[in-house]
Every structure is written in C-alpha cells, then in structure tokens.
C-alpha cells in the first residue's frame, strides 16, 4: 500500500486560489467558506476580522478602510505565496473598504488543506501577510474627537 502522502489529495490543488476580492459591500462568511470547499481537504481554517468598539484604550466611534489601486494585485501575491508554502487545496480572502460600523466584518479569509495543522498555519500566514503587505489603511475616529490612520504596510 502506498504511503498516504503519495495520494494526490495530500498536495496543493492545481487551482487553489478560489476567491480574492476587495469590496465596498458587506462580506459573507458563508461565501468564503463555500469557496474553499474541497473533498480532499481534511481541515478548513477560517478567520473573520470584525470592527471592535475600542482600540488603544479609546472608544472607536467610526472606522473606514481605504486601499491603494494595487491592493488586489498584492493580495494575489500574498495568496500565491501561501499556496507555494503549504499544501493548499483551496484559499479565499476578501477585505472590505469604505465606512464600517462596530460589528461589521472587515476581512474574511479561509484555507483548506489536507490536514488541520496545515490549514491553521496557512490561514495564520495568509491573514498576517495580508495585514502586513497589502496596502489597505484603516482610519479610526474616536469618540473623543481624535483620529488615527493605521497602515497595513
């Protein structure tokens, strides 16, 4: 009997990047989860980033995201690097831009891999690199009237 790792399902899929987008409309966890469905995946890791009501000890009153025109290209580059480093069966990532309210979904990413540990590691790498390398900026306005810009890269 052949070792498990010789099965085609143990390797990255031929076309693993299933959904990448930067949108000014509400995000859907269900859409991202459906996009990474794969019969060879034994683990799907999903991360949902939401707008919280505070940051740095201050109450957040309003928040907006904006991005550079190259953001989707950079998102694809980040996704393809994750695919190169992990046995990804399917990957999806969407980020919101525009004005958001507390509780809104700001980012949803998911990765499907043959095993759970790989899925967790790949998902963490995807969200961490997205936040550090994709040119998306957060503009926070605090309830005391102050504001700050937070750069993703």
| pLDDT, tens digit, 9 for 90 and up, residues 38-49 | 999 999 999 999
What angle do the packed helices 116-133 and 71-85 form, to 10 degrees? 150
**Dihedral sign of CA atoms 69, 72, 73, 77 in order:** positive
Q: Could you give the CA distance from residue 119 to residue 2 in angstroms, rounded to a whole number?
A: 24
Phi and psi angles of residue 2, each rounded to the nearest 5 degrees, phi first: -70, 145
Backbone angles phi, psi at 121, to 5 degrees: -65, -45
The predicted model scores a pTM of 0.92
Tell me the mean pLDDT in the region 105-123: 97
pLDDT tens-digit profile of 20-31?
999 999 999 999
8 A C-beta contact, residue 144 and residue 60: no
Q: Has residue 115 got a pLDDT over 50?
A: yes
């Amino acid at each position: 009997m052949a070792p498990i790792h010789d099965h085609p399902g143990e390797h990255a899929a031929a076309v693993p990047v299933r959904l990448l987008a930067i949108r000014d409309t509400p995000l859907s966890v269900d859409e991202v989860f459906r996009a990474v469905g794969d019969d060879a995946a034994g683990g799907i890791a999903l991360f949902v980033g939401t707008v919280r009501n505070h940051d740095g000890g201050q109450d957040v009153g309003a928040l907006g995201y904006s991005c550079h025109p190259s953001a989707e290209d950079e998102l694809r580059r980040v996704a393809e690097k994750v695919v190169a480093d992990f046995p990804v069966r399917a990957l999806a990532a969407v980020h919101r831009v525009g004005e958001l309210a507390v509780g809104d979904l700001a980012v949803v990413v998911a990765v499907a891999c043959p095993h759970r540990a790989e899925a967790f590691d790949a998902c963490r790498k995807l969200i961490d690199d997205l936040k550090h390398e994709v040119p998306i900026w957060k503009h926070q306005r605090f309830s005391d009237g102050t504001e700050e810009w937070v750069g993703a890269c």
